């Protein structure tokens, strides 16, 4: 399916075009499952109802509601970590789409045909449009509070304005163009700033990170994109880094075949008693189906030096880092039915480690580039030229050269202007050779 990169790039001509256009979606793939709680796993009627509905492709929301209405079992389902994604007919506007995805990319590893790994293509070169995310608190009536960034760069807690009453008509005043969004300002959040450390909803585990990968799947037909939810900051940061890698190497995200899969990580979290607890967590991983070796090592012989420099570097994300998460963020977000993916705030290592692998050194370089603003599209080209001129072809594969670059970037944190001058000189020398 060909993805549409932009829509309506002209001035608005109708009421419909005045509002931000969101790409249509045709369905949702979920990163986990829900199972009966231990208390209800001895209830034969509940077990039969659960298995029958799962086999029929029903949603876990529908299963939970039926367990409650017919057997009077409330909160009978809990998320469970699994090594595969859930692709259900009930999650697609055309149920046959789910069958087609499993036919093309499903595997039988002893538990029937499951979706363990599948290709995706993104519709936008802006990573945030491919993985929109926010902090959000939900009630039974829908979204109660949610975070948005304003032009001042701060993250604010927003809410829908209370509905006004029309005194003359004795009814709610009609709202044109959708519900009005306002800053939250109450006794708990008086300044409207979204700060999870002081937010009562976050501390009560009612507000969580919510994010969605939005993509097309090759050879799957349908006029729209597919979503995959996550509530893990760890997954989000890994995906961001993978996209930055591809963007640095190719200059764009569209046209690249990525892959989504599940991988088990060792996670360290802090429990309610302040103790570090280690556990294994199955998380979504994004990687790219591109020949990084060719991109890393420059152009073919005979190409211009500038062209060779522009393709000299890519940064590869580390595979097995250990993250520190707060236990509150490991609670499932039922609104996503994510099945166990969790949120937390990973710590960024800034020191040099003698036992670092090459991949970990590249990961540290990615962080340094971001802090220096060199990951921005308008500055990526200059950095490629500079790195290629300073260290030569294939430098990113040599530990000594990567260490030297990390040392230079670390020094630039205190004096970024000097590095900018060096980059400008490198670009100028290539242009006028």
Residue 153 within any structural domain of the chain: no
399-412 vs 377-391: helix axis angle to the nearest 10?
Answer: 130
Q: 52: how many CB neighbours lie within 10 A of its CB?
A: 11
Residue 381 within any structural domain of the chain: yes
pLDDT at residue 55, rounded to an integer = 87
143 φ, ψ (degrees, to nearest 5): -75, 125
Residue 65 within any structural domain of the chain: no
Residue 400 within any structural domain of the chain: yes
Give CA torsion, residues 364, 365, 369, 371, to 10 deg.
20
Q: Which residue has the tokens 């045709």?
A: 26
Q: 384: how many CB neighbours lie within 10 A of its CB?
A: 26
d(CA 359, CA 170): 65
User: Which tens digits make up the pLDDT trace of 291-325?
Assistant: 665 555 543 333 333 343 333 343 333 333 333 33
User: Which tens digits make up the pLDDT trace of 19-60?
Assistant: 767 788 999 999 989 999 998 988 999 999 999 998 888 888
Mean pLDDT of 405-414: 91
Residues with Cβ within 8 Å of residue 393, at least 6 apart in sequence: 297, 298, 308, 312
Identify the residue with better confidence: 101 or 340.
101
Residue 168, pLDDT above cutoff 50: yes
Residue 83 within any structural domain of the chain: no
377-391 vs 233-250: helix axis angle to the nearest 10?
Answer: 70
Overall size of the chain counted in residues: 433
pLDDT at residue 340, rounded to an integer = 47
In the 3-class helix/strand/coil scheme, how is the chain assigned residue by residue?
CCCCCCCCCCCCCCHHHHCCCCCCEEEECECCEEEECHHHCCCHHHHHHHHHHHHCCCCHHHHHHHHHHHHCCCCCEEEECCCCEECCHHHECCCHHHHHHHHHHCEECCCCEEECEEEEECCCCCHHHHCCEEEEEEECCEEEEEEEECCCCCEEEEEECCCCEECCCCEECCCCCCCCEEECCCCCCCCCECCCCCCHHHHCCCEEEEEEEEEECCCCCCCCEEEEEECCHHHHHHHHHHHHHHHHHHCCCCCCCEEEEEEEEEEEEECCCCCEEEEEEEEEEEEECCCHHHHHCCCCCCCCHHHHHHCCCCCCCCCCCCEEEEHHHHCCCCCCCCCCCCCCCCCCCCCCCCCCCHHHHHHHHHHHHHHCCCCCHHHHHHHHHHHHHHHCCCHHHCHHHHHHHHHHHHHHCCCHHHHHHHHHHHHHHHHCC
Give the tokens for residue 381: 């080209």
d(CA 392, CA 273): 52
d(CA 433, CA 421): 18
The percentage of residues in the chain with a pLDDT greater than 70, rounded to a whole number, is 80
Domain total for the chain? 1
Mean pLDDT of 131-137: 94
Residue 254 within any structural domain of the chain: no
Residue 115 within any structural domain of the chain: no
Mean pLDDT of 187-194: 92
Among candidates 256, 210, 202, which has minimal Cα distance to 230?
Answer: 210
Among candidates 417, 373, 235, 241, which has minimal Cα distance to 314?
Answer: 241
d(CA 127, CA 272): 34
Among candidates 394, 158, 405, 431, which has minimal Cα distance to 293?
Answer: 394
The percentage of residues in the chain with a pLDDT greater than 90, rounded to a whole number, is 39
Residue 203 within any structural domain of the chain: no
pLDDT at residue 281, rounded to an integer = 85
pLDDT at residue 341, rounded to an integer = 56
Q: Which domain holds residue 359?
A: 351-433
pLDDT at residue 10, rounded to an integer = 66
Sign for the CA dihedral angle at 102, 103, 107, 111 comes to positive
pLDDT band at 4 (very low <50, low <70, confident <90, very high): very low
d(CA 384, CA 376): 12
Among candidates 343, 153, 85, which has minimal Cα distance to 231?
Answer: 343
Asked if 102 and 72 count as a contact pair (C-beta separation under 8 A), the reply is no
Q: 236: how many CB neighbours lie within 10 A of its CB?
A: 19
For the chain, report the end-to-end CA distance as a whole number of angstroms.
44
- CA distances, 430 to each of 34, 117, 284, 393, 419 (Å): 58, 43, 41, 15, 17
pLDDT at residue 294, rounded to an integer = 58
Q: Which residue has the tokens 């599209």?
A: 377
């Amino acid at each position: 399916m060909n993805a549409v990169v932009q829509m309506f790039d002209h001035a608005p001509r109708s009421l419909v075009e005045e509002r931000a256009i969101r790409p249509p979606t045709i369905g949702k793939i979920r990163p986990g499952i829900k199972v009966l709680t231990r208390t209800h796993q001895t209830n034969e009627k509940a077990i039969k109802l659960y298995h029958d509905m799962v086999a029929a492709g029903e949603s876990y929301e529908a299963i939970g509601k039926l367990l409650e209405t017919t057997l009077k079992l409330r909160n009978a389902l809990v998320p469970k970590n699994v090594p595969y994604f859930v692709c259900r007919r009930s999650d697609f506007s055309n149920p046959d789409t789910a069958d087609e995805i499993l036919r093309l990319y499903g595997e039988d590893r002893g538990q029937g045909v499951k979706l363990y790994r599948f290709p995706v293509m993104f519709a936008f070169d802006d990573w945030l449009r491919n993985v929109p995310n926010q902090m959000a608190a939900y009630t039974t009536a829908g979204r109660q509070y949610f975070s948005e960034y304003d032009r001042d760069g701060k993250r604010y807690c927003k809410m829908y304005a209370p509905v006004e009453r029309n005194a003359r008509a004795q009814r709610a005043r009609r709202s044109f163009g959708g519900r009005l969004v306002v800053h939250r300002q109450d006794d708990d959040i008086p300044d409207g700033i979204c700060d999870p450390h002081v937010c009562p909803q976050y501390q009560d585990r009612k507000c969580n990170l919510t994010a969605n990968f939005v993509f097309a799947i090759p050879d799957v037909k349908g006029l729209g994109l597919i979503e995959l939810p996550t509530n893990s900051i760890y997954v989000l940061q890994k995906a961001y880094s993978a996209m930055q890698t591809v963007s640095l190497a190719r200059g764009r995200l569209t046209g690249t075949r990525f892959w989504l899969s599940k991988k088990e990580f060792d996670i360290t979290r802090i429990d309610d008693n302040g103790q570090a607890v280690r556990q294994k967590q199955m998380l979504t991983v994004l990687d790219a189906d591109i020949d990084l070796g060719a991109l890393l090592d420059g152009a073919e012989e005979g190409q211009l030096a500038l062209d060779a420099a522009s393709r000299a570097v890519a940064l590869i994300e580390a595979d097995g880092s250990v993250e520190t998460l707060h236990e509150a963020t490991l609670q499932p977000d039922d609104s996503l039915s994510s099945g166990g993916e969790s949120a937390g705030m990973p710590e960024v290592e800034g020191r040099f480690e003698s036992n670092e692998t090459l991949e970990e050194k590249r990961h540290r370089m990615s962080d340094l580039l971001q802090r220096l603003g060199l990951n921005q599209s308008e500055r990526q080209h200059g950095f490629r030229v500079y790195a290629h001129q300073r260290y030569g072809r294939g430098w990113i594969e040599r530990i000594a050269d990567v260490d030297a670059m990390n040392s230079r970037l670390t020094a630039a944190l205190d004096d970024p202007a000097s590095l900018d001058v060096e980059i400008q000189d490198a670009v100028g020398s290539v242009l006028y050779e």
